[in-house]
Amino acid sequence: MTVATIVSTRWLGVGSSAVADAAAAGRAAAAAAAGGKTAKLLIVFASAAYEPQALLDGIAEVTGGAPLIGCTTAGEIAATGPTDHGVVVVALGGEGFSARSASAVAVTGQLRDASAKVAECAQGLEGKYKALLLLSDGLGGNQEEVIRGAYSVVGAAVPLVGGCAGDDLKMQQTLQFHDRAVLRGAIVGAAISSDAPIGIGVRHGWRRVGEAMLVTSSSDNHVYLLDDKPALDTYLEKLDVRGDARTDPAAFTQFAITHPLGISRRSGEQVRFVAGANFDDRSLRCIANVPQGGLAWFMEGDETSVLEATDAACADAIAALGGRDPIGFVAFDCIARRGVLGTTGIAQEVERISSHAQGAPVAGFYTYGEIARTRGTTGFHNQTLVVLALS
């Protein structure tokens, strides 16, 4: 399946496949996305169930080795709807686009340095409108360091957008792709420049549950004490958690997907995905930093609030295009929002995104964290929808 919209000389195409054979799926999705044209950049979102090297080789057979970035997912998004165990390929081309890509494996504690190295691909890239698209390993430490590293290179002039790779909710290992290389624990990125505006929208749709708490003790993305009590015990008590989620780590993670932690930041309210619990020291593990001494609260949402946020994120992205029609959307949607919406709701969400795209191609994936920095120095989000609109 493919759709492509051409405005001036810029074009964007999307192809998808769910066939079981990795090489065949790669060839089919890439052929549909490129439509026989030469792509300047490929963006690949693929299930971790595929043999990754075979997938990339299949894509390269069709596209002739066009520059590529990508990652594994917790589900894929295409205009035809959400999928599991499939692959989606986005192709950008035409004289109105330029792109450069880079990658870096982030050794323990060096996320900022790795991100800065990747962000260097944006230096010297000409074009009136720019964005740096980043895909990272959300299981690899404090993802706010990814934002800080990229910002230290590109500054406030270049917005950041992207998401954290998934592994079908196994929470064990994600993969990143750069050209034909399969990477682990890496950051991959592409600096995109265009002769037309680029829009980014970001909304979450969660609301507070109960009173705010003091983060009495935390370190990086681990929360040990809330209001001087063990964080896990406070979580279980205040959210009235019952059944296996009180004792089984996997069951707890399933519950926590729809009950994130909200934190107060100078830039406003941010959401933190509670990725797991330590049943020995009674702590909570989040995807990103939770500052000690700050205020926090538990959150919840429902189908209505999450879909309202979907509409708002898309509207914000469109508004930034300055009246131009979009030629395509790329969505970075947290797997937790999918947990709230359910099978019917996620289909409705993709329909809403497509309606805002006004018939232009839509692609994306379900993430372990989202990147959207359009102002300020922060820009890592959890349990949020980020929409990139190209015109």
What pLDDT is stored for residue 377 in this prediction?
72
Q: Phi-psi category of 85—alpha, beta or left, where left has phi over 0 and alpha has psi -120 to 50? A: left
Query: For the segment 311-345, what is each residue's pLDDT rounded down to a tens digit?
Result: 999 999 999 999 999 999 999 999 888 888 988 99
Report all structural domains of the chain as residue ranges with CATH numbers, in order of start: 2-203+304-390 (no CATH), 207-300 (2.40.30)
Rounded Cα distance between 233 and 209, Å, is 16
Rounded Cα distance between 182 and 180, Å, is 7
378 vs 388, higher pLDDT: 388
What's at 85, amino acid-wise? H
Query: For the segment 280-314, what is each residue's pLDDT rounded down to a tens digit?
Result: 999 999 878 899 999 999 998 889 999 999 999 99
Question: What tokens appear for 147 in the block?
Answer: 């934002």
Cβ(125)–Cβ(190) under 8 Å? no
Residue 370 β-bridge partners: 163, 381
Query: For the segment 104-133, what is each residue's pLDDT rounded down to a tens digit?
Result: 998 777 999 999 999 999 998 988 999 999
What pLDDT is stored for residue 4 in this prediction?
47
Query: For the segment 148-196, what is each residue's pLDDT rounded down to a tens digit?
Result: 999 999 999 999 999 999 998 888 999 999 999 999 999 999 999 999 9
Average pLDDT of the segment spanning 228-256: 94
What pLDDT is stored for residue 90 in this prediction?
98
User: Which residues in 21-96 belong to E strands, given as ranges?
Assistant: 41-47, 68-73, 76-78, 81-83, 87-93
Q: In 3D, which of 47, 38, 53, 57 has the Cα closest to residue 18? A: 47
What pLDDT is stored for residue 267 in this prediction?
63
What pLDDT is stored for residue 269 in this prediction?
76
Average pLDDT of the segment spanning 15-42: 97
What pLDDT is stored for residue 1 in this prediction?
47
Cβ(70)–Cβ(135) under 8 Å? yes
Kindly indicate the confidence band of residue 6, based on its pLDDT and cuts at 50, 70 and 90: very low
What pLDDT is stored for residue 38 in this prediction?
95
Cβ(285)–Cβ(278) under 8 Å? yes
Beta strands at 160-165 and 129-137: parallel, antiparallel or unpaired: parallel
Average pLDDT of the segment spanning 266-270: 72
The mean predicted confidence, pLDDT, of the chain is 93
Query: For the segment 186-237, what is each residue's pLDDT rounded down to a tens digit?
Result: 999 999 999 999 999 999 888 898 899 999 999 988 999 999 999 999 999 9
Q: What sign does the dihedral 370-296-207-257 (CA atoms) show?
A: positive
Rounded Cα distance between 6 and 358, Å, is 13
Cα atoms in the Cβ-side hemisphere of radius 13 Å centred on 330? 31
